[in-house]
Amino acid sequence: MKIGIVGYGNLGRSLRGLIERDENLNLVKIFTRRDSNSFNDDKMESIKNLLEYKDKIDVLFLSLGSATDIPEMAPEIIKNFNTVDAYDNHAHIPQYFEKMDDIARKNNKVAFVSTGWDPGLFSLNRLIAESILTKGHTNTFWGRGVSQGHSDAVRRIKGVKRAVQYTIPKEEIIENIKENSKDYKSFETHNRLCYVVCEKKDEDRIRNEIVNMEDYFKPYETKVKFISEEEFEREHTNMPHGGHVIRVGETLENNREMYKFTLELDSNPDFTASVMISASRAVLKYVENKNYGAHTVLDTPPAYYNVLSHEELIKNYL
């Protein structure tokens, strides 16, 4: 499979490393808005030249931010390329899906949208859990860990030099979830903690913009700590994450059953990139079947993610 990557941040670098070690994948180019010559790397190419590779790439990974980049760039890119993205602004996914689906269908392309682990694997497990345990309560807990989407949203604030956001679940709720099952709001079960590097004079404005940011921080309890670049480099450059999807349901005679799906990740971008690569295999099968349009983890057959034949899958996994 011939692969291209748009964007070269944390996720883009993880994608590159995983693609280059996979003998079934061929990395054609990485497209950047920066000066491609500054990298001294023959894989780097200016985003301005993207259309020159229209017939040379099977799947294009969009390793871009969800705050503004993906909503602005993906609808144009899908006109000429099959794409996979990890768009994670949950509140806007329905509108984004609808837009990408319409454009992809008109251009005989496939857009695999909002993959990764949440949205993505967590979405799928919420669906499975609620389909099995039809009476009950589902809650999702994220962290403790670094949220790439939230960190990117903070970094886009004027004056922010570096930033990272940690999502912190309230462990006492998780520990007692089977006995105290109900539908919690995510802001009731999590706190958010931001570490920001900026000029002293900008601190109050930046703190105010963060805590009042719709779809990301409001109405969560959010703390913002301003630190030096040296401390940031020393303490906050790793990217662990994880979390749980927990469904507590009732069956017969008031029996309580708990469905729990857990991820423990040393590297959020590495794992997200791994999920995106599995989605690219599904994209090729959608293209082969001329099933154009937008697709998600919720409507994709599990067999599409794997390179094995149907017979091999049954033999190995059933």
Measure the CA–CA gap between 237 and 62, rounded to whole angstroms. 22
- Pair of tokens at residue 135: 């009476």
- Do 199 and 130 belong to one domain? yes
Whether the predicted pLDDT of 238 surpasses 90: no
Residue 263, C-beta contacts closer than 8 angstroms, at least 6 positions apart = 117, 121, 241, 242, 243, 244, 271
pLDDT of residue 14: 97
Mean pLDDT of 197-201: 97
CB 232 within 8 A of CB 162: yes
Domain count, the chain: 2
Does 118 show up as a binding residue in the annotation?
Answer: yes
Whether the predicted pLDDT of 67 surpasses 90: no
Across the chain, mean pLDDT equals: 96
pLDDT in tens, 170-183: 999 999 999 999 99
pLDDT of residue 9: 92
- Do 144 and 84 belong to one domain? no
Q: Within a domain: residue 317? A: no
Q: Within a domain: residue 318? A: no
Give percent of the chain with pLDDT exceeding 90. 94
Task: Provide the residue range defining the domain that includes 84.
Answer: 2-116+270-310
- Do 233 and 289 belong to one domain? no
Residue 138, C-beta contacts closer than 8 angstroms, at least 6 positions apart = 126, 129, 130, 183, 245, 246, 247
Q: Within a domain: residue 262? A: yes
**CATH number, domain at 130?**
3.30.360.10
- Do 138 and 244 belong to one domain? yes
Does 272 show up as a binding residue in the annotation?
Answer: no
> Predicted confidence band at 244 (pLDDT cuts at 50, 70, 90)?
very high
Does 32 show up as a binding residue in the annotation?
Answer: yes
Does 71 show up as a binding residue in the annotation?
Answer: no
Does 83 show up as a binding residue in the annotation?
Answer: no
CB 147 within 8 A of CB 117: no
> How much of the chain is in helix, strand and coil states, percent to nearest 5?
40, 25, 35
> Predicted confidence band at 245 (pLDDT cuts at 50, 70, 90)?
very high
pLDDT in tens, 82-102: 999 999 999 999 999 999 999
Measure the CA–CA gap between 96 and 193, rounded to whole angstroms. 28
- Do 168 and 260 belong to one domain? yes
Does 42 show up as a binding residue in the annotation?
Answer: no
- Do 246 and 233 belong to one domain? yes
pLDDT of residue 174: 95
Does 120 show up as a binding residue in the annotation?
Answer: no
Does 21 show up as a binding residue in the annotation?
Answer: no
Dihedrals phi, psi of 95, to nearest 5 degrees: -70, -40
Does 189 show up as a binding residue in the annotation?
Answer: no
- Do 257 and 224 belong to one domain? yes
pLDDT of residue 149: 83
- Do 181 and 237 belong to one domain? yes
pLDDT of residue 155: 95
pLDDT in tens, 280-309: 999 999 999 999 999 999 999 999 999 999
Residue 225, C-beta contacts closer than 8 angstroms, at least 6 positions apart = 193, 194, 195, 196
Q: For 41, which DSSP code?
A: -
> Predicted confidence band at 158 (pLDDT cuts at 50, 70, 90)?
very high
- Do 125 and 107 belong to one domain? no
Does 241 show up as a binding residue in the annotation?
Answer: yes
Mean pLDDT of 128-145: 96
- Do 253 and 302 belong to one domain? no
Does 268 show up as a binding residue in the annotation?
Answer: yes
Q: Final residue of a domain: which of 232, 250, 267? A: 267
Does 192 show up as a binding residue in the annotation?
Answer: yes
pLDDT of residue 147: 87
- Do 284 and 197 belong to one domain? no
- Do 136 and 255 belong to one domain? yes
Does 115 show up as a binding residue in the annotation?
Answer: yes
